[in-house]
Amino acid sequence: MKVIHFLSAAAALLLVGGYTVAGAGSHESGGACVYVMENMFAGPYKACTEPATAAACDEIGTTDDNRDAAHSDGMCPTEALIGTCDLGDSQLRYYEGEPSGLEIGCGFQGGDWITAE
């Protein structure tokens, strides 16, 4: 069961994160998008992508089963942060989920996992 959960989380990060890298990194910098990340493999997880424009946030909020996307001109919140997948041009921050599975999923996306302090 743990293996299935782990693989599901990794697949979810790969699928949703693939959009995040392409969508969030292809626009001018500034702003953040807080949303609930969910797809057929995993979730829901509270997450935030930065930088993200309002238009990119709208798209993130309708990708897969994601929901409740809200754009802000500031940065992602740091309260309750589990860790960050640093993708170079963007950061995908997680507030829920199992850190070990999130870290492996981040690696599949070509990112570097940073555990929150």
**What does the pLDDT look like over 36-45, one tens digit per residue?**
999 776 789 9
Q: Alpha helix (H) ranges present in the chain? A: 2-19, 54-62, 99-108
Can you tell me the mean pLDDT for 16-43?
A: 67
Domain count, the chain: 1
- Judge whether residue 6 has pLDDT over 60: no
Q: What letter would DSSP give residue 21?
A: I
Single out the residue of 96, 77, 104 nearest to residue 6, CA to CA: 104
- Judge whether residue 24 has pLDDT over 80: no
In this prediction, residue 14 carries a pLDDT of: 44
Q: What are the pLDDT digits (tens) for 67-84?
A: 999 999 999 999 999 999
Rounded to a whole number, what is the largest CA-CA distance in the chain? 42
Single out the residue of 29, 31, 33, 34 nearest to residue 73, CA to CA: 31
Single out the residue of 111, 44, 105 nearest to residue 34, CA to CA: 44
Domain containing 43 equals: 2-115
More confident residue, 29 or 112: 112
The answer to whether the beta carbons of residues 35 and 47 sit under 8 Å apart is yes
Tell me the pTM: 0.76
In this prediction, residue 69 carries a pLDDT of: 98
- Judge whether residue 26 has pLDDT over 90: no
In this prediction, residue 58 carries a pLDDT of: 97
